[in-house]
Chains A and B, each alone.
Chain A
């Protein structure tokens, strides 16, 4: 996902992929009379001491529809955690632990049946929506149908494996998912049937596109009207030009501290409209408790010194990269692409982003910490495992050999301070190695679709990708697979247009292998990573870290690997 509308990111742990089999049991709240563990006692004490108050968050702007089945941005997925629930969800814990899938509306993670094609979820009893109604199996079925009826962006990618999904994709309005999602009212269970085993199923069921809404929720984009949910908080009002207000769900009773913990603040106000400079000042002055946007680079100095106790930096599995169009000149020549990869001084780019504390250079596709990642960097002065310095001589030589020297190249970047400075730098580098280069910034909202559409003949651009969940396929297959390349469409996430039949076949082989042998699949992905990196359809730039700047009064900052800061688990008093 691109940053401005990115979804998830986080540290991946190899074991997390197998977690659906051996997931830790969720901590249930204690029934009266039981003896609490020391940890539970501590949490309860904290909750009483710090409960209450109004938390104020600021962001530059809203990010589209409030409909949880459609919105695909990190900004909203971050607070959906406290508002909506799915059958399962990611644990509301810090660090890599936040990557564990725990049962939410379901009582437990079901074991696979029928060779991994059938899962039976038993629905918890007594959970109410914030309008007072009980959650029933009917709501679950309706919610899954709704994913297709509203044409959710992931209906064709994440949920196409459910039986009956193909009919739903063809004719969304009449979607029934017959045979795919089956409810048994008497037993209180919902059975999901797949067409083929899917090791990533539980991740897909944990994202907000699969949350459970009341059956009578309108089957069209809700726009600015919040959907009714089951979470600890409810959205009281939403004006995309001004503010969103979250208050406590009056019908909420905590059923799992891991899946949907009760929160500290009574009210959360999320204001839209300040520039990023103004946001930093607001947090410094205590007028806001946290800012969504990353601070501008000229404030980093003071944040890192005067306000260093209020700054948290966390690693992300994401990358900034420069896709090069492999189908038009000059980058249809592999030597030209490799030349660019050799010439880029990634240390300079890291500095432009804010310094080595905030980013690290990379040469390959898979980010560090990913399953299948093995350090590999061919495009540097001393090729080996890590990047050390750019090799301009080699780059110039490659350009000469490719015969593309002197050609015009335009780099399209986002019109934000960092992207623009990266673009200006790249233009300078391209000129150094022999191209007639120019850079063109475009508004971020437009740039992302503009660079995907082959009709615009974009030669080179700068983009970012944040993972959806920790699977190597999310980087290699989605970004460089033939299936992601749609010429002439605004939605063709394989921006480079890279389609190598051999590599593609290997990727499909790895996907199939993952069902039975994850380790073997990881080894295959390592090889694929090497091959794609060598072909250089994109120049890898760096992996970013995430800065959170909070106010003095905010306490208990927890960074979840999946959804970043866990908003309602921090207190303001």
Chain B
């Protein structure tokens, strides 16, 4: 057991290391990425540029710069941004992590419940209008770009109907920490939760329905049916469990990526300062220290989620355990 854990952890480190090297190389291969002129200020003289370059160690060879950056990121934890000078990256990442976590966890609860309900209902009433209707709604959800939906939500809730009773409870955009103002925290996040969950609800509902329909054709389900068990019981207790594998796989991938900052456009649209927004700004500004920190943070969660999902396989499907 310990051996597997150690094994897994070393794999994770390997992946994260690989990605960090790749990011570093990509950055320096990009023309216009040299931050010295942007750090030095507009119309700086050539001497100022040279001084800044030396100051930031930008004139050292790449491997040296990489090692120094990693050291400042992990060991001394005083790595600072190229754009907002003096701003420590590691505390910033830790500071904004709860925002993303709040957004993603709430949305995940919504979409899992929603997706499961949609999938179960659609599979149970296969071929009926309810089934068709749910699938159509689900697919509409999948086809809407999340930033578009977010802007439309803002247009409706903050601008057009802000004064009407429907949306007057919607607070101004921005995040309120849970510890300071739980009510405000909840209210600020409701619309972003729904926006983020809409896409995944449709996806998961669709996938679950397909799995359930497949499972419904199994021999052992026919056996259960002929034994006289009710359809509902069959659906929920027997078919559902084995249909979960694909859904769980997808959930692991999605949740891991989202916690790591994949919800960047949602965060930008709703003014939530999370990891996603940090990543987005860093990308636009080619701010290497912040990019490094967010990429490593994100890859950690992705790899972790995948590891957890792999462990769950054995739990969900006994046949895999036999291996």
| A residues neighboring B (CB under 8 Å) | 1-2, 5, 61-62, 64-67, 70-72, 151-153, 155-157, 169-170, 172, 221-225, 240-242, 271, 273-275, 277-278, 281-282, 284-285, 287, 415, 442-446, 448-450, 452-453, 455-456, 478, 484, 486, 489-491, 493
Contact = CB atoms under 8 A, between A and B. Distances in A.
Given A155-B45, A491-B37, 15 more contacts: A64-B84, A153-B44, A156-B48, A169-B47, A221-B85, A223-B85, A223-B86, A224-B86, A241-B278, A443-B283, A449-B38, A456-B32, A491-B43, A491-B44, A491-B45
Contacts of B52: 151
Contacts of A453: 32
A478 B43 contact: yes
A329 B173 CA distance: 49
A557 B95 CA distance: 36
B158 interface: yes
A225 B86 contact: yes
A156 B42 contact: no
A490 B34 contact: yes
Interface string B59-100: 000000000000000000000110111110000100110000
Given A1-B42, A241-B87, A449 B48 contact: no
Interface in B262-294: 268-269, 271, 273, 277-278, 281, 283-286
B196 to A, nearest CB: 17
Nearest to A443: B284
A274 B36 CA distance: 27
Contacts of A271: 174
Contact of B85 (A1, A64, A285, A449): A64
B159 interface: yes
Contact of B173 (A223, A278, A444): A278
Closest 10 CB pairs of A and B: A223-B86, A490-B37, A153-B41, A156-B45, A240-B84, A450-B32, A65-B85, A287-B172, A443-B284, A445-B285
| A2, A221, A284, A456: most-surrounded residue (chain B CB, <10 A) | A221
A157 B271 contact: no
B36 A285 contact: no
Contacts of A489: 37, 46, 49
Nearest to A169: B47
11 contacts: A61-B281, A62-B84, A221-B85, A223-B84, A225-B86, A274-B173, A274-B271, A455-B31, A490-B37, A491-B37, A491-B49
Given A153-B41, A453-B32, A278 B46 contact: no
B96 to A, nearest CB: 7
Contacts of A241: 84, 87, 92, 95-96, 273, 278
A212 B142 CA distance: 58
Contacts of B85: 64-65, 67, 70, 221, 223-224
B87 A240 contact: yes
B15 interface: no
Nearest to B290: A241
B31 A456 contact: yes
Contacts of A282: 172-173
A66 to B, nearest CB: 8
Contact of A72 (B32, B34, B42, B271): B42
Contacts of B44: 151, 153, 156, 491
Contacts of B36: 490
Contact of B158 (A62, A278, A443, A448): A278
A221 to B, nearest CB: 5
Nearest to B37: A490
Contact of B162 (A285, A455, A456, A490): A285
| A64, A415, A478: most-surrounded residue (chain B CB, <10 A) | A64
A450 B32 CA distance: 5
A529 B29 CA distance: 40
B84 A277 contact: no
A445 B43 contact: no
The binding surface of chain A is classed by DSSP as: loop
B174 A157 contact: no
Nearest to B30: A446
A400 B255 CA distance: 59
B40 A151 contact: yes
A492 to B, nearest CB: 9
B278 A274 contact: no
A274 B40 CA distance: 26
Contacts of A493: 42-43
Contact of A153 (B34, B48, B174, B268): B48
B151 interface: yes
B306 interface: no
A224 B84 contact: yes
A542 to B, nearest CB: 22
A365 B316 CA distance: 72
A340 to B, nearest CB: 24
A5 B158 CA distance: 30
A282 B158 CA distance: 8
Contact of B277 (A153, A273, A446): A273
B102 interface: no
A282 B162 CA distance: 11
Contacts of A223: 80, 84-87
Contacts of B13: none
A275 B154 CA distance: 11
Nearest to B286: A446
Contacts of A486: 46
B308 to A, nearest CB: 30
Contacts of A449: 32, 34, 37-38
A486 B31 CA distance: 17
Contacts of B273: 241-242, 273
Nearest to B45: A156
A392 B102 CA distance: 57
B7 to A, nearest CB: 37
A489 B44 CA distance: 10
Contacts of B284: 415, 443-446
B51 A278 contact: no
A223 B83 CA distance: 10
Contacts of A281: 154, 158-159, 173
B271 A275 contact: yes
B151 A277 contact: yes
Contacts of B34: 449, 490
Contacts of A278: 154, 158, 173, 269, 271
A153 B86 contact: no
A61 B159 CA distance: 22
A486 B44 CA distance: 11
Given A70-B41, A281-B159, A443-B284, A490 B49 contact: yes
Given A445-B284, A489-B37, A275 B268 contact: yes
A144 B75 CA distance: 37
Contacts of B32: 442, 446, 449-450, 453, 456, 490
A2 B43 CA distance: 11
Nearest to A412: B32
B172 A445 contact: no
Nearest to B172: A287
A273 B48 CA distance: 30
Nearest to A288: B172
A2 B85 CA distance: 20
A395 B51 CA distance: 46
A442 B96 CA distance: 27
Contact of B286 (A169, A445, A452, A491): A445
A486 B46 CA distance: 8
Nearest to A444: B284
B43 A157 contact: yes
B48 A155 contact: yes
A474 to B, nearest CB: 11
A489 B284 CA distance: 21
B275 to A, nearest CB: 11
Nearest to B272: A273
B173 A284 contact: no
Nearest to B81: A240
A172 B44 CA distance: 15
A478 to B, nearest CB: 7
